[in-house]
């Protein structure tokens, strides 16, 4: 999978407040952060889905253990996903390295996504040479400033709402 990592630094105080909001044994603060990140990343996710290339090939039939399977072009567009992870322990685990609280992954979860994004270069006459068709990086470049600008406003609203719920 292709990963574009964005690390925001200087958020230790925010993370501390989110952990305090949660209280011991609760992940309410992490849920607030995840909710803000997921809603902020929605335009980027939809742009990547819209611009994912579709193969112009014909459907093919392949034999499998369960019988004949029809493989249709356009599988990549359906494998664009957003996944979120919450670090409940505060220590690194298989999904989140370090002591990060929340992680969001957006991208093509097909095994050949990187070949489509970057292409292959086996030589000009090689039958498996594929021209690059970037769709993830251009979407990210078009949306990253909006992501950062919208994130603070959405997070502030979600935090205020969570504080109201906690004070009831």
Percent of the chain with pLDDT over 90: 15
Distance CA 5, CA 150 (A): 18
Distance CA 58, CA 71 (A): 9
CB of 36 closer than 8 Å to CB of 158: yes
Which is nearest to 156 in space by CA: 10, 26, 33, 39?
33
The predicted pLDDT at position 146 comes to 87
CB of 43 closer than 8 Å to CB of 69: no
- Please determine, for residue 54, whether its predicted confidence score (pLDDT) is greater than 70: yes
Q: In this predicted model, which residue has the larger pLDDT, 80 or 33?
A: 80
The predicted pLDDT at position 39 comes to 92
Tens digit of each residue's pLDDT (9 = 90 or more) over 101-127: 778 888 888 888 888 888 888 777 777
139 pLDDT tier (thresholds 50, 70, 90):
very high
Q: Angle, to 10 degrees, between the axis of helix 12-22 and the axis of helix 28-51?
A: 120
The predicted pLDDT at position 44 comes to 93
- 71, with CB counted inside 10 A (0-12, 13-18, 19+), is exposed
Stated pTM of the model: 0.73
Distance CA 67, CA 165 (A): 54
């Amino acid at each position: 999978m292709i990963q574009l990592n964005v690390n925001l630094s200087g958020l230790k105080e925010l993370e501390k407040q989110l952990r305090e909001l949660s209280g011991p044994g609760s992940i309410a603060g992490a849920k607030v952060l995840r909710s803000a990140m997921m809603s902020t990343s929605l335009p980027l996710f939809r742009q990547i889905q819209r611009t994912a290339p579709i193969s112009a090939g014909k459907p093919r039939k392949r034999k499998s253990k369960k019988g004949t399977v029809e493989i249709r072009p356009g599988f990549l567009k359906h494998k664009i996903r957003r996944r979120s992870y919450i670090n409940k322990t505060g220590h690194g685990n298989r999904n989140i390295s370090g002591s990060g609280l929340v992680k969001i992954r957006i991208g093509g979860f097909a095994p050949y996504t990187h070949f489509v994004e970057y292409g292959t270069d086996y030589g000009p006459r090689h039958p498996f040479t594929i021209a690059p068709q970037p769709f993830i990086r251009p979407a990210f470049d078009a949306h990253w400033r909006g992501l950062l600008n919208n994130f603070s406003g959405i997070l502030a609203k979600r935090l205020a709402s969570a504080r109201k719920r906690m004070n009831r």
